Amino acid sequence: MKDTFKHKGLRQKLVETVKFKGIKDENVLRAIGNIPRHLFMDSGFLDHAYQDKAFPIAANQTISQPYTVAFQTELLQIKKGNKILEIGTGSGYQAAVLCELGAKVYSIERQQELFKKTSKFLPKLGYMPKKLIFGDGYKGLPEEAPFDGIIVTAGAPFVPKPLLAQLKLGGKLVIPVGDDVQTMTLYIRKGAKEFEKHEFGDFRFVPLLEDKN
Ligand code: SAH
């Protein structure tokens, strides 16, 4: 698990790229500059770790493109100590970004292989999510609700109702909605049953799958 000067240099270039594409939040940019993304990837892809691209990880899944991670995180407007739920732990990279921002992180993954691998890996790097859960993200995490923010990192065919229900007043759900292509969508809770909806263009994610357990 080496993080060399070369890696750090490549990472600063990645930060510049993501900034050039429109990310402004200094805390998000700092997180990307701090996290050794190459360590979240399988050895065959190490050389590509600091390109602004998604790459395959285990179990046919992907580590999201850094720009996408930054875009979704920026929409959450996280403050230190915020309680954030992530759906789709995957490699743990997005969870590490949330930890860097000082959030209390809860994250759900439905692939056991990824759940196990990432549960061991994140603490090794010093990232301590509050809870990593092996389970179905469609249900959210009612026992820990309400959340300041919920971030879905897989393409959702529809917006799962439990996720909206588990937001605090003023809380935000960031979710890519659609089948082949997804529209990045932000919901802000304004009341018991009132939500403000904002849309932010097209993205492509691996699908949010129904529970198979
Ligand atoms: N946030 C991840 C991106 C992983 S890709 C990262 O930073 O690397 C999306 C992840 O969502 C995959 O790991 C996939 O297994 C998971 N996933 C898909 N459907 C799910 C569901 N219903 N509940 C929880 N996780 C799910």
To test ligand 1's pocket by mutation, which of 40, 109, 125, 177 has the most ligand atoms within 8 angstroms of CB?
Answer: 109
Q: How far apart, in whole angstroms, are the C-alpha atoms of residue 151 and residue 130?
A: 16
Q: Which residues line ligand 1 (CB under 6 A)?
A: 61-64, 87-88, 90-91, 93-94, 108-111, 114, 136-138, 153-154, 206, 208-209
Contact in structure between 202 and 212 (CB atoms under 8 Å): no
Active site residues: 64
**Ligand 1 centroid to 93 CA: how many Å?**
11
What's the confidence (pLDDT) of residue 171? 98
What DSSP character marks residue 144? G
What's the confidence (pLDDT) of residue 42? 84
Q: How far apart, in whole angstroms, are the C-alpha atoms of residue 56 and residue 91?
A: 10
Planar angle of CA 135, 105, 9, nearest 5 degrees: 115
Q: Which atom of ligand 1 is nearest to the CA of 40?
A: 8
**Ligand 1 centroid to 62 CA: how many Å?**
8
Q: What contacts 122, CB < 8 A, 6 or more positions away?
A: 92, 95, 96, 99, 128, 129, 132
Out of 18-32, 55-69, 117-131, least confident range: 55-69
Give the mean pLDDT of the chain.
95
**Ligand 1 centroid to 114 CA: how many Å?**
9
So where are the chain's domains? Answer: 5-203
Per-residue pLDDT reduced to its tens digit, 73-125: 999 999 999 999 999 999 999 999 999 999 999 999 999 999 999 999 999 99
Q: Which amino acid is at 69?
A: V
Give the residue-averaged pLDDT of 3-26: 96
pLDDT at residue 161 tops 70: yes
What's the confidence (pLDDT) of residue 46? 74
What's the confidence (pLDDT) of residue 175? 98
pLDDT at residue 1 tops 80: no
Provide the token pair at 32: 């990307």
What's the confidence (pLDDT) of residue 30? 98
To test ligand 1's pocket by mutation, which of 28, 32, 61, 141 has the most ligand atoms within 8 angstroms of CB?
Answer: 61
Give the residue-averaged pLDDT of 163-192: 98
pLDDT class of 212 with cuts at 50, 70, 90: low
CATH superfamily label, 5-203: Vaccinia Virus protein VP39 (3.40.50.150)
CA distance to 8, 66, 161, 168, 181, per residue, from 139 (Å): 38, 27, 8, 16, 23
